[in-house]
Structure 1
Amino acid sequence: MSSVDTALPINLPPGPRAPRAIQGATYLAGRRRALHRTWERYGRAFSLNVPLLGEAVVISDPDLARQLFAAGPEVAGNVEPNLGRILGPGSLFALDGDPHRRHRKILSPPLHGRRMRGYESLIEEEYRREADRWAENHEFPILPSTMRITLNIILRAVFGADGDELEELRVLMPKIVTLGSRLAQFSTATLRRGRFSPWVRYRGLRDRYDSLIRTLIGRALADPDLEERADILALLLRARYEDGESMAHEDIADELLALLTAGHETTANTLAWVVERLRRHPEVLARLVAELDTGDLGFLQQTIWEVQRIRPVIAGVARQVKISRMQLGEWVIPKDRRIIVAFGLMHQDPSVYPDPLSFDPGRFHDRKPDFTAWLPFGGGNRRCIGAEFANLEMRIVLRALLRDFELLPTAERDERWRDRGVAFAPDRGGRVALRRREQRGSAMS
């Protein structure tokens, strides 16, 4: 259990003793590789001291993760600085404690439960719009396609319809995502140096985004059918906190930016990884297609879970100690120290997942993932609010792809991990070769 006993002496796990600059250079040269090597040497808990992260404790033990997530924000809360400096102070990424809970309560309904059914035809339409452009028997990277599919899906789910502003957002959002992901790796002070700094460029993109959102909010408020609309923007404008107060328009803009950014890039990268894995495991692919043709979606879900385990697009999540001392297992961690749950390491631990480097969807045949040992969406009260929506997108897009096309296997080496700043993608974009299926299973048509 976590402790607030200030008499406890600090007891940190071991870690590299190299100077901070050397540790930082190693980490920045390849953070996945650096963390893995440190994990191999020091085990499931180690200390680290690198730029941006600062002094941190890295854990990959499910029991320690469970304890950390249960501690609550008053003991181990949001890190500072956080992605709020990129996505805005009104986004869930910036908030903690009661403000975080209040926003999360308002944002949850559109992304969970029965409302999700209304998105199914939308997802299918956006898949088909993109798939109609694919060339047969010609290898190409699928990541640009999955990026467009997931961006168009979230734009339509958020705003409900097309228009000039949405067309501009389709062009603007990839620029915001790409630059914002890179900026997230550096301190704001560094980024703001000079008139031509990347931060100045980002602020220009953000200003244009804010202008577009103000226009869309104004148009929605003037819509006589606002009460009947089911898009996320309309739902946020109608929603009220427990005290009857509405959400500030600036906060709505920040939350929508977080949804648009996080809600498409991570899902698009995971879809590309699914394609990359299936092409290199023809036995899994054959079983998946056969079961889908009967209308059975169970193995599809297991495949998605397994790809998220073996190729998580986010390497970890973090909390920051808010009390004088926090006891975590055998360790006692001081105030302001970051604790990083490195689930990319946890997912490769043979004591957690037997034969962890094997791509085996069947490992989830008789059990759902344990949310303290399978963490692609994070955990605790800060678990990704769009997890259910993302899972729905992946199921529908993959079901439709394998219904319409034969995915051609390959003997090429595995694609490497490419660091996009926040997320990891296949380094060649998840190259795919397709052939349209002449006959489709009746349950799939």
Structure 2
Amino acid sequence: MTTTVLPPGPTVPRAVQGAYALTVPRRGVRRMRERYGDAFSVDVPIFGRAMVLANAAEIKQLFLARPEVVENIEPNLGRVLGPGSVFALVGEEHRRQRKLLVPPFHGRRLAAFEGIVEQEAVREFASWPQGRSFATLPSMMRITLNAILRAVFGAEGVELEQLRRLLPPMVIAGSRLVMLPLAPVDLGRWSPWGRFRLMRREYDAIVDRLVDKALRDDRLDERDDVLALLLRSRYDDGSAMSRGQLADQLLTLLSAGHETTATTLAWAVERIRRHPDVLRGLVEEVDAGGRALRDATVLEVQRTRPVIDLVGRLVKAEGLRLGRWTLPRGHKVLVSIGLLHEDESVFPNARAFDPGRFLGARPDLYAWIPFGGGARRCLGAAFATMELDVVLRTLLRDFELAPTGERDERWHSRGVANAPGRGGLAVVRRRTSRTG
């Protein structure tokens, strides 16, 4: 029998640890690291007993473990995205689904979506007030929602208008519900889960109509949108995705391609306004047609302000030797993205916002992990990176963004995502001339 070896941690009751995690999430994990080191045990609602991990070498080992050894943590976002979502699937079924979902977001098809993102950014920026402070997060939400809807479903229509209305409150409700340690009790409109399921039924009906329209489209084979690509895709055995699988996966893509990217864009505004030298360099670069500093800035925003702070895994094997620790079957590991990104041994002067650290150097994808890692790394990472680049390029090209000496915006939890507390405040004026 393998002897279990777990890191130390607090011994107070689960409810107390849960309250602590909810009230001081970021400050709390920092204090725990100071007391216990880069790995510590917790006992919290939803996950129960788990190990929080912030050691780069052990995180890499975890991400490289085979699916039969570790799998996605339970419960996960599959609670709200559906049983056919990649978050809910494990093993071979997870591999099969990813194989169909990855191609639409890479290569030539990804490049084809850039125009959509720029169009949505230009359209939204046209409504921005000039010379006064305003929160950019709502605008970024509209840009990313409209862009992902058009990329997924193609042409405009009544159904897309319905989804524009439905998805924002649905995503907010789902991101909050997934954090609740309560059974998904459905009491209709009188309960959170009941209200969410009413929205889900409306979403399913809209997607069903969109699928019917697509299947009747004589030019389906010529379409480049994700829905058309998935309808044409086939598993290795020649079978197609079921309507239920399709609805769950499209909801996953819409949710993941909407809130997290928009929140990162709001953080980007918040960060570069407080670093005038970076802002000045970005403007000079965009006027010259470059992008190296912009790429590095996006990487540094994601390092210093990760929107998702935890990635979880579940031990499926009889036991798992993970660096210094030996974990039993069923034990959970919570990778702390924030703590890893603040590790001085991985990122020297880690608390500083310094895009220069990524100029001419790509990040180690087992140490820089805003998209998670391993077999479950976010399949929309390339699409999100393209969106971040295009929206920031358009903003810097068309507007003067005023720097500020105000204090950093506080972190605000929106359930799953961490957003700037004041929504990424900006003061802008439209540019009348450019150099270069």
User: Is the structural similarity TM-score above 0.5?
Assistant: yes
Distance 1:194 1:208, change over 3 A: closer
Please point out which of 160, 174, 185 is paired with 1:180: 174
| Mapped partners of 1:263, 1:425: distance in 2 | 15
Give the 3-state SS of the residue equivalent to 1:110 in structure 2.
helix
Report the 3-state secondary structure (helix = DSSP H, G, I; strand = E; otherwise coil) of the residue aligned with 2:59.
helix
Can you list the C-alpha shifts for 1:226-285, whole angstroms capped at 9, x where unaligned? 111110000000000011010111101000001111111000000000000011111110
Residue in structure 1 matching 2:278, options 263, 276, 284: 284
Partner of 2:312: 318
Partner of 1:3: none
1:399 and 1:21 mapped to 2: Cα distance?
46
Does residue 348 of the first structure (1) align with residue 342 of the second (2)?
yes
Measured at CA, do residues 256 and 283 of structure 1 come closer, stay the same or move farther in structure 2, by a change above 3 Å?
same
Number of residue pairs aligned between Structure 1 and Structure 2: 436
Give the letter for the 1:26 counterpart.
Y
Structure 1: gaps spanning 5 or more residues? 1-6
Between the aligned partners of 2:37 and 2:434, the Cα distance in structure 1 is 49
Deviation above 6 Å: which 4+ runs of structure 1?
Answer: none
Does the CA contact (< 8 Å) of 1:183 and 1:191 recur in 2?
Answer: no
Give the equivalent residue in structure 2 for 1:259: 253
Q: How far apart are residue 79 of structure 1 and its match?
A: 1.5
Q: Is the 8 A contact 2:47 2:74 kept in 1?
A: no
SS of 1:274's equivalent? Answer: helix
Q: Spell out, residue by residue over 1:113-154, the C-alpha distance to the aligned partner (whole angstroms, 9 max, x if none).
A: 111111111111000110110111011000000000000000
Match of 1:243 in 2: 237
Alignment of 1:21-100 (within 5 A): 21-100=15-94
Give the match's secondary structure for 2:50. strand
1:164 partnered with 2:152: no
- Show the counterpart of 1:362: 356
Displacement, 1:441?
A: 3.8
Work out the CA distance in 2 between the residues paired with 1:302 and 1:191. 45
- Is 1:231–2:225 an aligned residue pair? yes
Q: Residue type of the partner of 1:430?
A: G
> Could you give the per-residue CA deviations for residues 295-343 of structure 1, whole angstroms, max 9, x where no partner exists?
1100000000000000000002010001221110010111111111111
Contact 2:47 2:75 (C-alpha < 8 Å) held by counterparts: no
Matching residue's letter, 1:363: R
What is the identity, as a one-letter code, of the residue corresponding to 2:163? L
Partners of 1:362 and 1:21 lie apart in 2 by: 43
Other-structure match for 1:150: 144
The answer to whether structure 1 residue 411 and structure 2 residue 405 are counterparts is yes
- Cα distance in structure 1, aligned partners of 2:83 and 2:140: 29
* C-alpha contact (below 8 Å) 1:142/1:431 kept by paired residues: yes
The answer on 1:332 being equivalent to 2:326 is yes
1:436 aligned partner? 430
1:106 pairs with 2:135? no
Who is 1:130 aligned against?
124
Q: Which amino acid aligns with 1:320?
A: L
Residue 440 of structure 1 and its aligned partner are, at CA, apart by 2.3
Aligned to 2:269: 275
* TM-score normalised over the length of structure 2: 0.98
2:205 counterpart (198, 207, 211)? 211
What is the percentage of aligned positions where both structures have the same residue? 55
Structure 1 distance, partners of 2:285, 2:74, is 46
What is the distance in 2 between the residues matched to 1:219 and 1:41? Answer: 58
Residue 193 of structure 1: how far off its partner (Å): 6.2
Distance across 2 between alignment mates of 1:438 and 1:294: 16
Is contact 1:293–1:441 with CA below 8 Å preserved after alignment?
A: yes
Change (3 A) 1:50 1:144: same
CA distance 1:213–1:58, shift in 2 (3 Å): same
TM-score by length of 1: 0.96
- Aligned-residue CA RMSD in angstroms? 1.1
Asked whether the equivalents of residues 62 and 373 of structure 1 are also in contact (C-alpha less than 8 Å), the reply is yes
1:194, distance to aligned residue in structure 2 (A): 7.6
